[in-house]
Structure 1
Amino acid sequence: MNDKFALTLFTGASRKRNLFAQVVEELGIRIVGGDLKPDEPFPKEADLEREYGVSRSVIREAVKTLAAKGLLESKTRTGIRALPPVHWNLLDAEVLSWRYGAMPPVQFFAELFEVRKMIEPEAAALAAMRATGADIEEIETAYAAMVKASQATVPGIGADLRFHRGILAAGGNPLLLQMGNLIGVGLLISHRFSHEAFVIFLPGHHAVMNAIKAGDAEGARASMQRLLCETFDYMKGHIRND
C-alpha cells in the first residue's frame, strides 16, 4: 500500500469517526437537555441523515451507542424513542458531561457530592484495611504530583483524580472503580471555578493518605468525610450558574 493511498484511507476513516462522534454528542445533548422527549416521536433516520449530512450507517451506529448509554431504545416495530432519565447510565463520562451542560452547575455539583459523600469515605476505610504496598505507592505518587502542581501554580486535576482513583482501587472492590467518572466530573467543576480550592485542601488529602498508610480505617473514613464536606462548603460560594 503506497503512502498516498494509506493517507486517503486514514483521512476518510478519521472524518467518518469525527462525524459519528459529532452525531452521538449532539443527539445525546438534545436528549439530556429535553429537546428530544420520551413521549414524543423521535426523528426518522432519513431526517437525521439530512440534518447531519451523514450516511445511514453513521446514524445507526450513533443510535446503538446512545442505546448502550441508556438514552435511546430501538425496536423493529416501534422504531427509535428517547428513554426517560431513570434509564440513563449516569456513570458514563459523556452522559455526565451532557447532563452537567443541561442543568445549573450548583445543582449538579450538589448531586455529585451527595453521592461522593456516600461512597468515598467508605472506600477510604476499605483502602486502609486492604491497600497493598503498590496501592500506597500509587496514592503517595499522586499526592506528590498534586503538591508539585500546587507549587508550580498549574492545573493539578490529573493528579487529583489519580489520587482519588488510587483510593478506589486500593479498596479492592472493582465496582468502586466505576465511580471514577463521577469523581472526575466533580473535580473538573471544582478546578474550573476555583484553583485555590486545590491548594487549600491539600492538607485534607494528606490526612486521608496518612490514615490509609497507617491502616486506620476509622481515621481514613473521617478524614475523607471531612475533606468532602469542607470542599463542598467552600465550592458552594464559588460555583456560578452561568
Structure 2
Amino acid sequence: MSRPSADTAGVSRHTRRRPPLAAAVVRSLATAIVLGEYPPGTALPSAGELCDEYEVSRTVIREATTTLAEKGLVATRQGWGTVVLDQEQWSLLDPLVLDALFQREDRLVFLDNLIEIRTTLECAMAARAARCIDGAQAAVLASKLDELASLRDDPTAYARADIEFHEIIHRASQDAFGRAIVSSIQGKAVRSPQYSGDPTREHIDLTHEAHARIAEAVISGDPEGAEDAMRSHITSSWERRRPHVTTEE
C-alpha cells in the first residue's frame, strides 16, 4: 500500500523530537483515510508496519489509533486489526476530518452542502441579531461596514474583514451553537481555493452592497429583512464564485 503523501505530515527523523508524535501520525492517517488511500472496510497496516513507516514507538501508534477511533474513522476488529469505517460514522465536524474533506476531488459536493448549512444557520442568526443587537454592537457593525468599504481594492484584506463582519452578527445573535458550527466548518473551507474564489472588483462591489443591506436590516431591527438579505448574499456570492463543472458525454 502506498505511503501517505508528504503534505499529510509524515514523521521524519528530524521531527521525532517534536511532541506530540501521535498528533502528527493522526493527521497523516486521518488525511489518508478521508482521501481514500485506505478505503472503508480495509485494514490499516499493522502496528509494526506503522512503527516502521513513521519511525515511532508502538505506544505512539496505539495513541494515534485511539484518537482515530474517537473521530469515528477506524475501529479495532478481532482478527482483522484496525479497520477503516464508512464515512457515515466519521465525525465530520472534527477539524482534521473537515480539513481533509475539503482536499478531496469531490469537495464541491461538501462545499455546496456547507453553503446550505451556512444559509440555514446564518439567516436565522441575522434575524436574531436584528432582535437582540444593542447600541454598542450596532456601532461595531457599522464601523466594520465602513472598514469594508475602504478595502474594496484589496481582495485579501476584504476577505478577512468580511469574516469579521459576519462574526459580529453571529455574536449579536447570541446563538452560541450556530456560531460554533459555522466557525468550525467555514474555518476549514476558506483554505479551499474553490470556496474563496478569485473575486474581481465588480464581485467585491456586489458583495459590499449585500453587506450594506444586511447591516441596515440588522441595525434597524428588521428580522425578516435581515434574514432575506443574508440569504440573498450567501447564495448569490456562492453562485458567482462556484466553479462550473462540465461533464463529457
Shorter-chain TM range is 0.7 to 0.9
Give the drift of 1:192.
4.2
Alpha-carbon distance in 2 for matches of 1:181, 1:239: 27
User: What secondary structure, in the 3-state scheme, does the structure 2 residue paired with 1:81 have?
Assistant: strand
Question: What residue in structure 1 maps to residue 236 of structure 2?
Answer: 230
Alpha-carbon distance in 2 for matches of 1:239, 1:139: 37
Superposition pairs for residues 107-146 of structure 1, below 5 Å?
107-146=109-148
Question: What residue in structure 2 maps to residue 104 of structure 1?
Answer: 106
Give the drift of 1:199.
4.5
Alpha-carbon distance in 2 for matches of 1:73, 1:96: 19
Question: What residue in structure 1 maps to residue 182 of structure 2?
Answer: 179
Give the drift of 1:27.
0.6
Give the drift of 1:232.
1.7
Give the drift of 1:80.
2.8
Alpha-carbon distance in 2 for matches of 1:29, 1:95: 7
AA of the residue aligned to 2:197: F
User: Would the aligned equivalents of 1:191 and 1:198 in 2 still touch at CA under 8 Å?
Assistant: no
CA displacement, residues 19-73 of structure 1 (integer Å, 9 cap, x when unaligned): 4443222211111122223312222222111111122233233233333333233
Give the drift of 1:222.
0.2
Superposition pairs for residues 1-242 of structure 1, below 5 Å?
15-17=18-20, 19-74=21-76, 79-177=81-179, 178-189=181-192, 192-196=196-200, 197-237=203-243
Identity of aligned residues (%): 28
Report the CA distance shift for 1:58/1:138 in structure 2 as closer, same or farther (over 3 A): farther
Question: What TM-score, normalized to structure 1?
Answer: 0.79
Alpha-carbon distance in 2 for matches of 1:14, 1:128: 52
AA of the residue aligned to 1:181: S
Alpha-carbon distance in 1 for matches of 2:220, 2:234: 20
Where does structure 2 lack aligned partners over 5 or more consecutive residues?
A: 1-13
User: Would the aligned equivalents of 2:125 and 2:178 in 1 still touch at CA under 8 Å?
Assistant: yes
AA of the residue aligned to 2:219: K
Report the CA distance shift for 1:195/1:66 in structure 2 as closer, same or farther (over 3 A): farther
How many residues are treated as equivalent by the alignment?
A: 230
Question: What TM-score, normalized to structure 2?
Answer: 0.77
The two structures, once aligned, show a CA RMSD in angstroms of 3.1
